[in-house]
Structures are given as structure tokens and as C-alpha cells.
């Protein structure tokens, strides 16, 4: 994963110094640099968003603090770069993700990039824990926390998704649900029509699996070998 960024600063030497540091820092790359807010916004309006905007605060056209609301539209993280420490409260008052004091040291930039990279990683991870399914009414969608799904069972052209809060019926195939869940390593397909969450298995008796909601399913012949191999690898006294 590489983080994209732009620089806004009305001092060319300050831009040059930050460009040099960014080029030496792994995990981040510079898209462009600008000497004023207006030029940056024009560019961003045509090129969508970036991960980070590094912006000076005191500039000729409009200061970075006043422009925060505009800049936030085009980036996920706004980081101020200034020679004046006394702007720190103002910066965080407009939800800045970071504050670097000029002259910026390479280590300070590395630390700031690491913080942002960690936030991006956590955000991506949490988004994988949520899926949406079509409800029974037209244009209705239901949000599900993946961790709460106990099992998914298919019948004809719909699936029944059992969660810790109850069950939801959606008119899609099991294959589509399996695709949504494939990045979650705690889901296991045990038959042509059933996917279970291994975190909610209460016991296994031969080829029968009992879940904590008292649902009992038979492990399909095609899936038995893989499932029992999985169990053996996690059995302490096998």
C-alpha cells in the first residue's frame, strides 16, 4: 500500500525540502505540489481525492486553517506543515490529522506517515467486517456485521442468514454470499447449501455440526475431508 499526497506551500524552498523528504520515505508518493490553495483545489477537482494533503498555514491567498473545510473534501488526512508551533491548537481545531513543524525532520515525516498508514490499515480492516444484503422490500438494504453471522443456509433462490440478533432472508444465491465472505478465514462451507462461522461451533459429532443457536447441519460428503483436516490441525489431544 502506498499513500498518495500533495503539497501546498507558497515558499518554493519549503516545497523542495518536503519533496526531498517524501522521496526518501517508503510508503508514500507525491502527486503534485502547489503554491496556493486555489491551484490545488482546481487540480483536486479534476483528479478526485488524495490520501494526504500537506498544507502550510500562513499563505498569501488564503490561509490553510480557513481552507480546511474545502481541503477536507479532497483528502482523507490533512496535515499542516508550518514554522509556527502556536498554530497547533488551531490545526487540530479543524480536525487536522497531523502537525509538522518546519524545518521538518525526516524522522518526523516517517513517524507521521506510519501513523496515517496504520489508520488506513485499520479502516480497511473494519470495512471488511460489514456487508449489505438486499431486504425483502424493493430498494431495501440491510447492514450486517460479519462477525455476528452464525451460519448461512440456502434454499432454492434465497438464503437465510442467521446472526446473533436473528435471521435475515435475502434473495441471492449462496455463491454470492460466499464471495462476500471469502476474505474471512473463520467461515467454512460444509455442504452445497451451508456456510458456517467456526467461531460459533458448539460441537462436532461425526458428520454433524451443532452451532450455538442449536442449528444442526450435516457435513456434505464433498466437504468432509477438508473440514476434518481443519479440525485435526486444531485438536489438542488428537
Band (237; pLDDT cuts 50, 70, 90): low
The pTM score is 0.57
Model pLDDT, residue 80 = 96
Exposed / middle / buried, residue 32 (Cβ in 10 Å: 0-12, 13-18, 19+): middle
Confidence (pLDDT) at 32: 96
Does residue 236 have a pLDDT over 90?
Answer: no
pLDDT of residue 139: 72
Give the tens place of pLDDT for each residue, 96-123.
999 999 999 999 999 999 999 988 887 6
Average pLDDT score over residue span 39-57: 91
pLDDT at 126 over 60: no
Average pLDDT over the chain reads 89
Longest Cα–Cα distance in the chain: 76
55: closest CA among 87, 28, 20?
Answer: 87
Dump pLDDT digits (tens) for 163-206.
Answer: 888 888 888 888 888 887 877 778 999 999 999 999 899 999 99
Q: In angstroms, rounded to a whole number, what is the distance separating the alpha carbons of residues 227 and 194? A: 13
Q: How far apart are CA 176 and CA 161, in angstroms?
A: 13
For 148, residues 6+ apart whose C-beta sits below 8 A from its C-beta are 163, 164, 165
% of the chain surpassing 90 pLDDT: 58
- Going from the C-alpha of 42 to that of each of 37, 46, 71, the distances in angstroms are 9, 7, 11
pLDDT > 70: percent of the chain: 95
Per DSSP, 171 falls in state S
List of domains in the chain: 3-127 (3.40.50.2300), 130-233 (2.40.50.1020)
List pLDDT tens digits, range 62-79.
889 999 999 999 999 999
pLDDT for 94 beyond 80:
yes
Amino acid at each position: 500500500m502506498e499513500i498518495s499526497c500533495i503539497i501546498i506551500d507558497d515558499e518554493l524552498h519549503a516545497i523542495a525540502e518536503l519533496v526531498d523528504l517524501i522521496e526518501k520515505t517508503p510508503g508514500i508518493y507525491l502527486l503534485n505540489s502547489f503554491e496556493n490553495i486555489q491551484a490545488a483545489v482546481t487540480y483536486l477537482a479534476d483528479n478526485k481525492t488524495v490520501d494526504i494533503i500537506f498544507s502550510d498555514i500562513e499563505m498569501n491567498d488564503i490561509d490553510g486553517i480557513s481552507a480546511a473545510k474545502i481541503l477536507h473534501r479532497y483528502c482523507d488526512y490533512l496535515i499542516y506543515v508550518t514554522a509556527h508551533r502556536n498554530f497547533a491548537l488551531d490545526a487540530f481545531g479543524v480536525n487536522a490529522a497531523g502537525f509538522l513543524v518546519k524545518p521538518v525532520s525526516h524522522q518526523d515525516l516517517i513517524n507521521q506517515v506510519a501513523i496515517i498508514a496504520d489508520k488506513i490499515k485499520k479502516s480497511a480492516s473494519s470495512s471488511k467486517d460489514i456487508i449489505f444484503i438486499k431486504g425483502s422490500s424493493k430498494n431495501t438494504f440491510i447492514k450486517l456485521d460479519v462477525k455476528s453471522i452464525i451460519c448461512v443456509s440456502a434454499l432454492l433462490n434465497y438464503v437465510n442468514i442467521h446472526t446473533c440478533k436473528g435471521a435475515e432472508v435475502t434473495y441471492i444465491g449462496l455463491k454470492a454470499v460466499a464471495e462476500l465472505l471469502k476474505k474471512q478465514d473463520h467461515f467454512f462451507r460444509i455442504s452445497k447449501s451451508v456456510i458456517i462461522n467456526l467461531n460459533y461451533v458448539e460441537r462436532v459429532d461425526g458428520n454433524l455440526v451443532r452451532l450455538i443457536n442449536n442449528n444442526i447441519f450435516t457435513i456434505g460428503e464433498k466437504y468432509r475431508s477438508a473440514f476434518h483436516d481443519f479440525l485435526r490441525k486444531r485438536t489438542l489431544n488428537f
